[in-house]
Amino acid sequence: MNTVIALWIRGLKAFVRNKTGLIFSLVFPFFFVYVFGAIFKTDFIENPIAYMLSGVIIVTVFESALSLASGTVDDMVSGFMKEVLVSPTKRIAVAMGQLLSAATVSTVQGIMILIVGLFIGIEFTSWITPLYVLLSMICIGIVFSGVGLYMATKVRNGQTFQIIKAAVTMPLTFLSGAYIPLSMLPGTLRYVAYLNPMTYATAFFRMIVLEKTHLSIEELVREELVVQINGFVVTPFLTFVIIVCIGLIFLTLSTISFTKTDFSRVSRSDTDANSLWG
């Protein structure tokens, strides 16, 4: 447990000390809020700013959770991870520390944007909504921290990890409904979006932030707060189940991969693409 806490605190300290990254993580998302909020204003969206903000918040949590895995790659390349693992520490405790740290920092970044959003468009009428929002961010942060750690254990180079991360986050973000409603996507891309786990995370989180959980399925479909696949409606409960299943799969895969990774093969000068992905 001490290892988990130590790595968790280390991750939080690194986040707080990176003031430039902290400022840009707050400023950059609001660019999308005003650009896409104005462009995609439609009749079925009552409050386009709040609609976009909810998407921006969960995208920030998602991207932060994946980005923080780059710290794991840096630890591997710098040799820090090998030093940790030669101690009596169990690998699973190290993996848990990395996951907890990434999930916490990504949630904090989401909360920071949420706080600003409360002044420009988001409104809560129930005291329990912020609690549900916080739990949703923690849950989604943990899920995608698992995805990020799994990617980190398969990549041997920090630069390549950034390229792969960008190649993964861009399509998953723009095909999730966070910025562009799914109904506005071309038919082919809409089917791709149905395979995107972020689509379900976005729909679930947006429904909670906009306090639409009391609406009927028909009303949720009309306001595009649930995913509808050829007439089949993925209900909020089923959406939550999908998110949990994805989380369990990647948390298991990342933990297994982390415990089996041979960190002695990681080299500071390893830039050969052939050495990537295992």
Q: Say if 269 falls within a structural domain.
A: no
Band of pLDDT at residue 131, cut at 50, 70 and 90:
very high
pLDDT of residue 277 exceeding 60, the answer is: no
Q: Say if 170 falls within a structural domain.
A: yes
pLDDT of residue 272 exceeding 80, the answer is: no
The values of phi and psi at residue 53, to 5°, are -60, -40
Q: Say if 277 falls within a structural domain.
A: no
Domain span holding position 33: 3-262
Give the orientation angle of helix 91-120 with respect to helix 48-67, to 10 degrees. Answer: 160
Residue, of 24 and 217, whose pLDDT is higher? 217
pLDDT of residue 265 exceeding 90, the answer is: no
At 38-71, the pLDDT tens digits run 666 655 666 777 888 888 898 888 888 887 776 7
| Cβ-proximal residues to 245 (8 Å cutoff; 6+ apart), any chain | none
pLDDT of residue 275: 45
First to last CA, the chain: 29
Band of pLDDT at residue 135, cut at 50, 70 and 90:
very high
pLDDT of residue 23 exceeding 50, the answer is: yes
CA distance 179 to 4: 35
Q: Say if 28 falls within a structural domain.
A: yes
**Amino acid occupying residue 132:** Y
At 145-170, the pLDDT tens digits run 888 888 877 776 667 777 887 888 88
Q: Say if 16 falls within a structural domain.
A: yes
Please list the helix, strand and coil fractions of the chain in percent, rounded to the nearest 5, in that order: 75, 0, 25
Cα pseudo-dihedral 167, 238, 118, 116, rounded to 10: -20
Asked whether the beta carbons of 203 and 176 are under 8 A apart, the reply is no
Whole-number mean pLDDT of the chain?
Answer: 80
Band of pLDDT at residue 276, cut at 50, 70 and 90:
very low
User: 229: part of which helix (H) or strand (E)?
Assistant: strand 227-229
Name the burial class of residue 187, with classes exposed (0-12), middle (13-18) and buried (19+) by CB atoms within 10 angstroms of its CB: exposed
pLDDT of residue 270 exceeding 50, the answer is: no
Radius of gyration for the alpha carbons in the chain, expressed in angstroms and rounded: 19
Mean pLDDT within 85-96: 76
pLDDT of residue 41: 61
Neighbours of 189 (CB within 10 A): 15
Q: How many domains does the chain have?
A: 1
Residue, of 47 and 275, whose pLDDT is higher? 47
Q: Say if 275 falls within a structural domain.
A: no
List, in sequence order, the alpha helices (H) in 40-125: 48-67, 69-78, 80-85, 91-120
Q: Say if 183 falls within a structural domain.
A: yes
CA distance 65 to 103: 6
- For residue 44, the 8-state DSSP code is T
CA distance 198 to 194: 9
Q: Say if 247 falls within a structural domain.
A: yes
Residue, of 98 and 192, whose pLDDT is higher? 192
